Amino acid sequence: MPLPRTPALAADCIVIDAKQRLLLVRRKHPPFKGHYALPGGFVDIGETVEDACRRELLEETGVRAGKLQLVGVYSDPSRDPRGHTCSAVFLTRIRRATAKAGDDAAATEWVEDWSNAKLAFDHAKILADAKPALRKRKP
C-alpha cells in the first residue's frame, strides 16, 4: 500500500538568552518576506524533528541550540499559505550568542520586547503558548 499524501513537516525554535531576549529572523523569502519569524524550517528525509530544529537554527542564525524542550505541535491547515504544514516547536535557552543571518534569513535580531512583535505564520500564538514554560526557569 502506498504512503498517504500528508502535510509537510517542519521544526521551529524558540531561543531565549540570559537577558530574556528572543532570537528572531527576518524572512528572506515569501511568504511573509521581511517579517519576523522564529528560526526553523522543513524536516529532511531521515532526520528527526529535534535534529531539524538544531540544523535550521544553526543554518539561519549560526547559533547552536542547547537542551531542547518541546513546546507543542502546530497543525492548523491554514498556518502556512503555501499549504498544510505541521511544525514541532522547541524551546532552548542559551546564556549568550552572536547571531548572524544565513540560509533563509535576511537578518537576525535579539529582541527584548518580543511580546508585541508582529510575527509571520502562527508564531505569535506559539509564543503565547510558550509563556508558562518561559517563566519556569531562567538560564
Residue 2 lies in a domain: no
CATH (domain of 114) = 3.90.79.10
Say if residue 66's pLDDT is above 80: yes
Q: What is the mean pLDDT of the chain?
A: 93
pLDDT value for 139: 47
Q: What are phi and psi of 129, to 5 degrees?
A: -65, -30
pLDDT (tens digit per residue) in 19-59: 999 999 999 999 999 999 999 999 999 999 999 999 999 99
pLDDT value for 138: 52
Question: How far is residue 92's CA from residue 4's CA, in Å, rounded to a whole number?
Answer: 33
pLDDT value for 33: 94
Residue 1 lies in a domain: no
What end-to-end distance do the CA atoms of the chain give, in Å? 48
pLDDT value for 58: 97
The dihedral over CA atoms of 38, 44, 48, 50, expressed in degrees to the nearest 10, equals -20
Domain that holds residue 78: 9-136
Residue 72 lies in a domain: yes
Residue 88 lies in a domain: yes
Residue 106 lies in a domain: yes
Contacts of 126 (CB under 8 A, 6+ apart): 12, 14, 38, 71, 72, 74, 89
Residue 91 lies in a domain: yes
Residue 69 lies in a domain: yes
Residue 129 lies in a domain: yes
Number of separate domains in the chain: 1
pLDDT (tens digit per residue) in 84-126: 999 999 999 999 898 988 878 889 999 998 888 899 999 999 9
For residue 13, name the pLDDT band (cuts at 50, 70, 90): very high
